[in-house]
Amino acid sequence: MAFTTRKNMLQAMQHNDNSAWEDFLTYYGPLIKLRADDFRLTPQETDELRQDICVSIFSQGSLETYDPQRARFRDYLRGIIAHRALDILRRRPDPQQRPLKEEEISADDDLRFEQEWREFLLGKAVENVKSRCDDLTFMAFQLHSWQGRPAKEVAKELEIPESKVFLASSRIKQRLAEEVKRLEKEWDE
């Protein structure tokens, strides 16, 4: 079952709905992976981090005590990810591979997290917009807008009029901007 809003998903997680937990990992998995990379976790440790986050949220009843009036969910999740990642690093057998103390984590971590959050939202927006348009239109957008290839070249390669390349690029850029705004509103509740 796919949840229509993050809020519904969190409520279902509180009631131990397995599909909600699966959706949580599907939705937030890319963000968890980005953060695991920041902490230089191995792939095995990254899998462990995903599990530790779920256990932490479930076993401590964290979602029941989470107060959206005090903090955004992304900041709440950020704290859980950081604490669990540091726990994993502390368990490493080689002292040279253990982390700095929590207070010594670089000051630019806030900025890095915000950049990763934007990347995460953009990725979700791209998935959503791509699923609602035809492949040829999205390909024209990708080649022209993302890869910066000339519209004439893209039109020739895709065998469509050049005007369609410009139209696809313009419409999909607009849809992406709207989807990012929608996701920001929904996910920053």
Q: Where are the domains of the chain?
A: 1-105, 124-189
**Is the CATH number 3.40.50 carried by domain 1-105?**
no
Of 32, 36, 34, 12, the closest CA to residue 23 belongs to 12
Model confidence at 48, pLDDT cuts 50, 70, 90, reads: very high
Q: What is the pLDDT of residue 1?
A: 47
104-155 residue pLDDT tens: 555 567 778 888 888 888 998 999 999 999 999 999 999 999 999 999 999 9
Question: How far is C-alpha 52 from the chain's CA centre?
Answer: 18
- Taking the alpha carbons at both ends of the chain, their separation in whole angstroms is 22
pTM greater than 0.75? no
Q: What is the pLDDT of residue 97?
A: 64
Q: Match 């131990």 to its residue by tokens.
A: 16
